Amino acid sequence: MDAHNDIKGVLLDLDGVFYVGERAIEGGQASLQWLREHAIPFRFITNTTTRSPASLLEKLEKFGLHAKASDVFTAVSATVSYLENAGANSVHLLVRDEVKPAFKAFKQSDSPDFVVIGDIGARWHYDELNQVFNMLMEGATLLTMHKNKYWQGENGLLMDIGAFVAALEYVSGQEAIVVGKPNGAFFSLACQSMGLANHDVAIIGDDIESDIGGGRTAGLRSALVKTGKYRARTLAETKVRPDWVIDSIADIHTLFSI
Ligand SMILES: [Mg+2]
């Protein structure tokens, strides 16, 4: 590899990079240790919306990935910040119960300013979608934590929330605001927290669109890992080109000429 020794920091995706479900990916813990030993700053940046930011920290701890709240950028906290900055008053939440307390500053309403979409697992139902459709037709704004197509579960690929967001966009004629990856502002915020410019940072992820595509559009360098949802066919078929492809997070040191 060449011309990569000027990376000053990294953003690390979590799901599919450090673990799949409850199974750790080999080398994750050692790689973090290596980054710390070489004083290379890093942040975790995740579209995971199945857990509150606090419960995500507990999960990381379980995998030996010690992190402070300020080390982790989640689509959930970015969505709360977005609503605060937008002066939102009321919301309708299509999110897991566990995640709802993060939105306690906003009134829950059936005629909301914003409809907020997160991962609700297998709870998607016509009635719920139709209720949201009517809210959108009455003027609510569609805000989604991300629009990922699918993710890697322990027993295969799982449809993510993107298809449901696309359905709501289709019927309402409204384009959703996507807060998490690939939104450039989300990447920039994480880079700024390290005191680094976007072009000095590389994103490491398993999602060719949200991680690699989003990161590149935001001016970051990028490394795709061959774990999690990675499939050779998906990489062959997309126009998105990562700067580097590495077997797994265990190879992160190869991005640096240290
Ligand atoms: Mg991932």
For 23-73, write each residue's pLDDT tens digit: 999 999 999 999 999 999 999 999 999 999 899 999 999 999 999 999 999
- CA separation for the pair 83, 102 (Å, rounded): 12
**23 Cα to the center of ligand 1, angstroms:** 14
CATH code, residues 87-178: 3.40.50.1000
Q: Are 74 and 48 in contact (CB under 8 A)?
A: yes
| β strands within the chain, DSSP E | 9-12, 19-20, 23-24, 42-46, 72-74, 90-94, 107-108, 114-117, 141-144, 150-153, 156-159, 177-178, 201-205, 221-225, 244-246
> What pLDDT, on a 0 to 100 scale, did the predictor assign at position 4?
54
- Cα 115 to ligand 1 centre (Å): 25
The CATH number of 9-47+182-229+245-255, from 3.40.50.150, 3.40.50.1220, 3.40.50.1000, 3.30.70.270, is 3.40.50.1000
User: CA 176 to CA 251: how far, in whole Å?
Assistant: 36
Q: How far, in Å, is the centroid of ligand 1 from the Cα of 209?
A: 10
Give me ligand 1 centre to Cα 40, in Å.
Answer: 21
Domain ranges of the chain: 9-47+182-229+245-255, 87-178
Alpha-helical (H) ranges within 63-161 are: 75-85, 126-137
What is the Å distance from ligand 1's center to 201 Cα? 18
Q: What is the pLDDT of residue 258?
A: 78
Instruction: Decide: 5 and 244 in contact? Cβ < 8 Å.
Output: no
What pTM was estimated for this model as a whole? 0.93
pLDDT band for position 148 (50/70/90)?
very high
Please tell me if the domain spanning 9-47+182-229+245-255 has the same topology as the one spanning 87-178: yes
Q: Which amino acid is at 250?
A: A
CA of 150 to the centre of ligand 1 (A): 10
